[in-house]
């Protein structure tokens, strides 16, 4: 079967206008906490949407439908964490008159992609009195930036060049370059003068003390805005599109879903990139807890039927897939691979090594999703994550499926996934929005 290019089916202005909103979101919200805050602000004037904030790291949005809640929900689930590099709890040290920060990477990154690029620090510090202080250094006008250094090619032969690419940058060498000027003092007792100057600047300018790093969540992320890519501006390049592109399109679809029959949920999880564990991940009970609250707010005390309601529900696991890169076509079986510009990609299953660790959507539900998309003129394609035995990956679909609900993966393809600068086609982003909206509005 041949799939069609989506650019010929839509008016470019609608696509570009929608994606400009998305580009601004991507530029502003670079951590899971910032994403939650962005969406809470976006819906604050919408009386028809209820927000449930889980520890400022996950978010569930609810819109009431006309049918009985016992008939189940329409759910779109995405994740709002992204691969990054975190600052350790005791990070500040001085070596050879330079100050660096110790770090620990988060998620599946190619470490060599993150060196020699400008970086910013986003996050929060919780002070001793419980005050939560937001941190954004590097993305505000006039800010300095930071970077991870690399060895020059002239001296790299033995220490780097002859190693496997996965060993070229060791995790413990990902230390962030942070300062260089020594403090102006004649006190011989002060041995680490550059570190003392850095700590003094942190205290005077940002009200940050060294012990504050212990109770902080500081994420090192690529500095700068998301950008239009291509001479025709057909693509968006930026950090965190896995999976914030699905989060943004899902929330916009919820906002634009008018008079839905089913009760609607958009679930934005944390921790997907490291296994969906923890109290804000998809393996927690946050969906059950929120539905309990929703039932109570609808005057229903029959909490025993939560599992039955979930089993009657239908869900799209909104996550990205690998787009075919012309330079790396050999990792795909091209008849079942997603191409940029061909619309939202439907993945019946993900997993690896014989479909291990996946949800494999039922054929009946696949047919239903295709019919919904066709009825709404949504351009779609099918996709697997690479050739059989080439590798693979997973999504939150299997954690939703444990409730007995029908689940399928659907989202746009990306190039350079998990890098500091991921690429998406604008028409695929728009088709993902259209597909999600059609699903939420269906019966």
228 inside domain:
no
Q: How far apart are CA 416 and CA 147, in angstroms?
A: 20
Which residue range(s) make up the domain with 144? 84-222
pLDDT at 79: 98
From CA 264, how far away is CA 376, in angstroms rounded? Answer: 18
Residue 229: enclosing H or E segment and its boundaries?
Answer: strand 227-229
Tell me if 231 is assigned to some domain.
no
| Residues 161 and 40 placed together within one structural domain of the fold | no
Shared domain for 24 and 117, answered yes or no, is: no
Spatial strand order of the sheet with 84-95 comes to 132-137, 119-126, 216-222, 84-95, 98-106, 176-179, 147-148
| Count: domains in the chain | 2
3-state helix, strand, coil in the chain (%, to 5): 35, 25, 40
Q: HSE (CB half, 13 Å, CA atoms) of 183?
A: 19
- By residue count, the chain amounts to 443
Is position 72 within any domain? yes
36 contacts 79 by C-beta, under 8 angstroms = no
Phi, psi of 53 (to 5 degrees): -90, 125
One domain for residues 200 and 292: no
Token pair listed for 343: 């619309």
Q: Are residues 118 and 213 in the same domain?
A: yes
- pLDDT number for residue 175: 98
Q: Would you call 382 helix, strand, or coil by DSSP? A: strand
For tokens 């700068």, name the residue: 224
Q: Is residue 380 part of a domain?
A: yes
**Co-location of 346 and 271 in the same domain:** yes
What radius of gyration do the chain's Cα atoms show? Answer: 23
CATH of the domain at 180: 2.30.250.10
Query: 């890519």: which residue's tokens?
Result: 229
Is residue 109 helix, strand or coil? coil
DSSP-assigned letters across all residues of 347-378: ES--EETTTBT-----HHHHHHHHHHHHHTT-
Q: 397 and 272 share a domain?
A: yes
Question: Residues 283, 391: one domain?
Answer: yes
- Position 227 in a domain: no
Q: Which helix (H) or strand (E) holds 84?
A: strand 84-95
Same domain, 313 and 437: yes
Residue 428 lies in a domain: yes
Q: What is the Cα 170 distance to its own chain's centre?
A: 24
H helical segments located in 298-345: 306-311
Same domain, 258 and 388: yes
Tens-level pLDDT at each residue, the chain (443 residues): 889 999 987 789 999 999 999 999 999 999 999 999 999 999 999 999 999 999 999 999 999 999 999 999 999 999 999 999 999 999 999 999 999 999 999 999 999 999 999 999 999 999 999 999 999 999 999 999 999 999 999 999 999 999 999 999 999 999 999 999 999 887 778 889 999 999 999 999 999 999 999 999 999 999 999 999 999 999 999 999 999 999 999 999 999 999 999 999 999 999 999 999 999 999 999 999 999 999 999 888 887 889 999 999 999 999 999 999 999 999 999 999 999 999 999 999 998 888 888 999 999 999 999 999 999 999 999 999 999 988 889 999 999 999 999 999 999 999 999 999 999 999 999 999 999 999 999 98
The C-alpha atoms of residue 318 and residue 267 are separated, in whole angstroms, by 10
Residue 72 and residue 99 share a domain: no
State whether residue 226 is helix, strand or coil: coil
Between the alpha carbon of residue 206 and those of residues 97, 98, 183, 300, the distances in Å are 22, 20, 17, 48
Please name the residue ranges forming H helices in 207-322. Answer: 241-256, 286-297, 306-311
CB of 33 within 8 A of CB of 57?
A: yes
Q: What is the pLDDT of residue 185?
A: 82
Q: Alpha-carbon distance 85 to 175, whole Å? A: 10
Q: Which of 222, 257, 274 is the last residue of a domain?
A: 222
In the prediction, which pLDDT does 304 show? Answer: 82
Q: Indicate whether 150 belongs to any domain.
A: yes
Backbone phi, then psi, for 221, in 5-degree steps? -130, 160
Q: Which helix (H) or strand (E) holds 317?
A: strand 314-317
User: 215 and 134 share a domain?
Assistant: yes
């Amino acid at each position: 079967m041949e799939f069609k290019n989506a650019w010929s089916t839509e008016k470019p202005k609608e696509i570009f206008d929608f994606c400009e909103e998305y580009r601004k979101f991507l530029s502003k919200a670079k951590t899971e906490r910032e994403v939650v805050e962005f969406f809470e602000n976006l819906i604050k004037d919408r009386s028809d949407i209820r927000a449930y904030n889980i520890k400022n790291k996950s978010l569930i949005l609810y819109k009431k439908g006309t049918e009985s809640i016992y008939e189940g929900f329409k759910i779109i689930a995405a994740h709002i964490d992204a691969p990054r590099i975190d600052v350790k709890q005791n990070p500040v040290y001085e070596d050879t008159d330079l100050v660096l920060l110790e770090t620990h990477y988060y998620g599946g990154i190619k470490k060599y992609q993150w060196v020699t690029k400008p970086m910013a620090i986003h996050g929060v510090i919780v002070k001793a009195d419980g005050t939560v202080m937001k941190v954004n250094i590097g993305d505000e006008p006039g800010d300095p930036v930071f970077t991870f250094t690399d060895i020059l090619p002239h001296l790299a032969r033995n220490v780097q060049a002859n190693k496997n690419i996965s060993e070229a940058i060791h995790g413990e060498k990902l230390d962030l370059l942070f300062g260089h000027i020594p403090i102006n003092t004649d006190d011989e007792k002060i041995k680490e003068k550059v570190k003392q100057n850095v700590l003094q600047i942190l205290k005077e300018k940002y009200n940050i003390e060294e012990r504050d790093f212990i109770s902080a969540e500081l994420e090192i992320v690529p500095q700068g805005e998301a950008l239009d890519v291509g001479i025709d501006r057909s693509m968006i390049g930026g950090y965190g599109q896995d999976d914030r592109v699905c989060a943004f399109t899902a929330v916009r679809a919820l906002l634009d879903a008018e008079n839905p029959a089913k009760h609607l949920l958009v679930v934005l999880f944390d921790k997907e990139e490291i296994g969906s564990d923890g109290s804000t991940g998809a393996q927690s009970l946050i969906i059950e807890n929120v539905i309990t609250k929703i039932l109570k707010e609808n005057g229903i005390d029959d909490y025993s039927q939560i599992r039955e309601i979930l089993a009657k529900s239908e869900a799209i696991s909104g996550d990205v897939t690998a787009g075919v890169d012309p330079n790396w076509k050999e990792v795909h079986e091209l008849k079942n691979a997603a191409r940029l510009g061909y619309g939202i990609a439907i993945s019946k299953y993900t997993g690896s090594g014989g479909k291990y660790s996946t949800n494999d959507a039922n054929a009946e539900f696949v047919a239903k999703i295709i019919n919904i998309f066709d009825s709404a003129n949504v351009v779609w394609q099918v996709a697997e994550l690479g050739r059989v035995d080439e590798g693979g990956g997973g999504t939150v679909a299997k954690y939703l499926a444990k409730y007995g609900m029908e689940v399928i993966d659907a989202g746009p393809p990306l190039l350079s996934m998990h890098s500091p600068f991921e690429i998406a086609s604008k028409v695929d982003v728009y088709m993902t929005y259209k597909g999600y909206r059609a699903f939420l509005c269906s019966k």
